[in-house]
Every structure is written in C-alpha cells, then in structure tokens.
Amino acid sequence: MKRLMLGNEAVARGLYEAGCGVVSSYPGTPSTEITEHVSEYQEVYSEWAPNEKVAAEVALGASIAGARSFCAMKHVGLNVAADPMFTASYTGINGGFIIAVADDQGMHSSQNEQDSRHYAIAAKLPMVEPADSAECKNYVKAAFEISEQFDTPVLLRLCTRVSHSQSIVEENDRVEVPLKEYIKNPQKYVMMPGNAKGRHVVVEQRCKELIQFAENTSLNTVEYAANNEIGVIAAGITYQYAKEALGDSVSYLKIGLINPLPLKKIKEFASKVKKVYVIEELDDIIETHCKKNGIDVIGKELFSNIGEYSQKLIAEKILGKQTEFAEYNENIPVRPPVMCPGCPHRGMFYTLNKMKLTVSGDIGCYTLGAAPPLGAMDTCICMGASISALHGFNKARGAEDRTVAVIGDSTFMHSGITGLINITYNKGYSTVIVADNSITGMTGHQQNPTTGKTLRGDIVEQISIEKVCDAAGVKRVRVVDPNNVEELEAILKEELAVKEPSVLIARRPCALLKYVKHNPPFKIIAEKCKSCKACFKIGCPAISMANGKASIDSTLCVGCNLCKPLCAFGAIAEQGEEL
C-alpha cells in the first residue's frame, strides 16, 4: 500500500520494516516525529532519553547486545552525543546501529547552523542522506545493511525540508531480525588505550573498504541529459531543488552515500559534461572533495554557505532565469514569535525584567523571554549552559546578587543537573530558576523524567526536581507559582540576598496541556482605557489596540490575571465584573 508520509514518519516506517528492536532518542526539531511515530509500532521498544548522549549509549548498548538499534536527534544534539559516537566508530557494532541527525539549514528552530557532515568525516563513519520520504524509508534499510556489512554505526542525515515534507511511500511488511549472538569480546568493546590502538587500525581499513563501496553503491546515481552542457552534483534536498529548477535539461550525479564520497564516479561524471555545478547547502564538502582531486567544479562562488537554497535561487544562478513576482507596496509589520497566551513563563520573565536582573538563559520555548517587550534574558548558549555560564559569570565578576539562571524542567534533566552540582561543589552563590511547566514544551509536549510518564504514556516514578537539587547539595529550594508575581519577586529578593546556592522552582503547567483549566477571559472597559499601552508590557498576544483603545481577544485570553494589575485606570476587568 502507498501512503503520503512525512520524511520523519517514513524513517520510523523504515525502522519498523527493517526489524529494528530498540530506539532511544531525545526530542529536537526537526527530528522529533521520528521517535513519536516509532512508538506507534509495538514491535519496536522506544523511549525518550534524558539527553542525546544517553540515547546514543542506550542504542549502542542494544546494538552490542545484538539488536538493530537507532537513535535520533537534531544537529546540535549530535554535539552532546559526540563522545559515545566517536568511540562507537572504534568498537563497531553487533546488531545494525543508526544515528539519525537532522540539520536545520536556515535555523528555523536552532541556535546555530552546523553541518553534520563534518562529524561523519571526523568520526570516520558512513553517512547517508535521503532526498524524499520514500528514500527516508529505504535509506534506513540500506543503512542497517551497511552497518552490519562494515561493522560500523551509520549516520542518517536529514534536514528540516526532508523531515517535514510529505511524499509517497510504499509500505511493506516488517522483516523480523533475530537478535545476533552476543560474544564477549573486550578487545572490541572495551576501549582502553591498548585495545583502542588496535581498533584504530580496523577503522582505517574500514574507511578504505567504504571508499570502494561508495564507487559502486546504488545509493549514488547518475542521470544523463540529452545534451552535455551542464552537470549537477547534489545530495538530499538540494537534488530536489535542482530537479525542479532545471528539469531534465541537465545531468545529475545524486549522492546518497555522502561519506565517504566516491572519486572515480565523480570524475567519470565530470568528464561527460562541459560544466559541473556542486549544489550543497552549508559547507563546501563535496566541492572541496572535487577540487582537491583536480576536478573542476563551480560551487560556493555562486552559492552561499548560509541558510537554505530554493528552486528560484538555483534557476537564477545556473540559468540566469529571473522569477517574476509582484511587490507588495506597503510595509508589513514585523511579527516576532511570542509566548502563548497564558504561558506560565510570562509572569516570571516580566518579574525578572522588572527587577532588572542579569539572566543566563537556556534552550526552550522560554527562550522567547529574550524578545521584547519582556526582554529578560542576557545569554543563551546551548542546552544546560544557563547554570554553568551563570557560575562562570559570577566567578569572574564576584558573587553577584543581581544574576539568575533560567532553565526548563526538561532541559534541567537533559544537562542542567551537572551545572548545578558544579555550583555547589565549587562554592558558587548562584540563584537558579527551574521553569517547570510539567512537559517538554519546546518540541511539542514530549514527556520527560519529571512528568512521570514515558513516551507511550505509561505511568512511572516521577523524578522530583526538589530532591535532585537537595541531592546536589542545594539547601535552599523553594517552589512558587510564576503567575503570582508579587510572591515571586519577594522570594527572588530573599534568595539573591543569600550567599549560598539556591534553586527557585517556578511551577505552573503549560497553558496548552489538555488537562489545564482556564479562567474566563478578561475584557477591556473602553470608557476607562487611556490608551497608555501599559498592558502591552506583559507581551500577551491576546491584547491589541482597536479603535484607539486596548482590546482583549476573548478567544485567546485564558484569564491568567497578569495584565490586570498593569492598568492604573482599572480598565481591565473579569467577565461580569461591575464597572
């Protein structure tokens, strides 16, 4: 049966059909849906791990035990998982092992734009890159075969456009792959120096064999045009862009095995066309491979190493074809992303802004607290860095009483705990706010160890943030409702005045969770409104101006009461409230 599938859904289907036994991942856009769809297959054990390093280690352990295994993450997650990944290149595998990494060209939801192909080269691992949903499924199967043929983990590179686009996929039955026999082999799996030196030799020999494989694999395909004027070398989504922009008028070498790259095949392709273009988003990896081997290609002199490409861009650069378009003759207002109506983080960031504190921020939907009008975040580096960076900030400038770290509950579990331990261990005085909205909000409501539920919704022991902080040596742990801004401010002043580590848990569930009950919407009493826009300070998308007066959208307002105290004229009222 054929079905329209997201690229990520097709990856999950491939795992099911290929007999994958264990999946462990950490959610991260644009990779999250892979594991969510895997959880629909009862034949595959699947779980959310606290972070990408743990996920990769779980999957590697399952592979060593003999099962086909898989883990998924976004590109910055591969930084977290790099430690086990590099060593897994040395240990090799038993059951097939795939690490999926989804790059985010254009930074739709990421803090940087790194090119994960560098990791494949550095770790000396094969990497495959599908171009549509059908290939997402088929490349999973191919990756397992490569993994087991060459005794290696395989990287599956995705990108936002492939992960979140839909195309036709043909479904097949699952092939049950029995556990491979586990044989104790410390020389292969115990990477102390004496064994690792021997395994490095194995890795280098494997690289040579993979280069030969790259020349002949059906993952790298050639399409010759009727004329020999132009040839295009591309992989993944850039192949799709090129096909749409250039059609059958040019020849293509489509690279499916992106590491190692073939050489003879590229030389042969280049010899049969007059001009060769390399179209690759981000860095010039294919182009460099060609040029250092004496193949004349055109690449980054035409195409940027920043952001996403498009069909329009490729047509312009190669064919000189300008796309006609009409310009809108009015300035369209900028609409930056904002926190949701009723977001529990809004009151917290409003208070931090009001107190003029220096805020070491972290990765999550609450990173929007950096944007106006809240503007209450000074730094944001990577997952878990808020706490560690605040400790460094305070060590450099002396024990500051005007600084805090803000981190979400899921991110605290991901990699915030170690930063907190570092503070207590090294006699820091920092105040940490854990913004506990009882879910992983950033990626779409995934469970995490603090929610008490697994990926499939099974009830499990709920990890207590309070007890974790206590075990980390923090004596001052307090819980506050972030919508109670007066109490929040009072407690913050107390904790900032204390010369010892403290944790403030700002706990209120995400306003979008189904079980959260909302209050009736508020309203504006137009006669009292002075159009001062003080209510805008809270940054609520339910509040706007209409006919010169403030207005509250009753379909968005959840009655959180954060805006009402901002109005000095009593113009904001609850439904039914007397004038």
Angstrom distance (rounded) from CA 528 to CA 571: 5
97 forms bridges with which residues in the sheet?
69
Residue carrying the six token digits 């171009």: 131
Angstrom distance (rounded) from CA 70 to CA 60: 8
Strand ranges across the sheet with 22-25: 45-48, 22-25, 69-74, 97-103, 154-159, 127-128, 257-259
Residue carrying the six token digits 């929610």: 451
Q: What is the DSSP letter of 478?
A: E
Q: Find, among 454, 461, 460, 462, the residue nearest to 45 by Cα.
A: 454
Angstrom distance (rounded) from CA 439 to CA 366: 12
Q: Find, among 236, 22, 233, 253, the residue nearest to 144 by Cα.
A: 22
HEC assignment per residue over 270-320: HHCCCEEEEECCCCCHHHHHHHHCCCCCECCCCCCCCCCCCHHHHHHHHHC
Q: Torsions phi, psi of 218, nearest 5? A: -75, -5
HEC assignment per residue over 119-157: HHHHHCCCEECCCCHHHHHHHHHHHHHHHHHHCCCEEEE
Angstrom distance (rounded) from CA 91 to CA 77: 21
Angstrom distance (rounded) from CA 450 to CA 346: 21
71 forms bridges with which residues in the sheet?
99
HEC assignment per residue over 426-475: CCCCCEEEEEECCCECCCCCECCCCCCECCCCCECCCCCHHHHHHHCCCC
Residue 290, annotated as binding a ligand: no
Residue 567, annotated as binding a ligand: yes
CB 155 within 8 A of CB 148: no
Angstrom distance (rounded) from CA 35 to CA 30: 11
Residue 563, annotated as binding a ligand: yes
Residue 382, annotated as binding a ligand: no
Angstrom distance (rounded) from CA 271 to CA 267: 6
Output the CA–CA distances (angstroms, integers) from residue 329 to 324, 332, 333, 357, in the order listed.
16, 9, 13, 42
Q: What is the DSSP letter of 111?
A: S
Output the CA–CA distances (angstroms, integers) from residue 69 to 5, 21, 50, 457, in the order listed.
22, 6, 18, 22
Residue 380, annotated as binding a ligand: no
Output the CA–CA distances (angstroms, integers) from residue 470 to 173, 408, 477, in the order listed.
50, 18, 8
Whether omega before 373 lies within 30 degrees of 0, making that bond cis, reads yes
Residue 510, annotated as binding a ligand: no
- Take residue 406 and report the two structure tokens written for it: 């803000």
CB 418 within 8 A of CB 397: no
Q: Find, among 66, 65, 73, the residue nearest to 24 by Cα.
A: 73
Binding-site annotation, residues: 529, 532, 535, 540, 557, 560, 563, 567
The binding site for [4Fe-4S] cluster comprises 529, 532, 535, 540, 557, 560, 563, 567
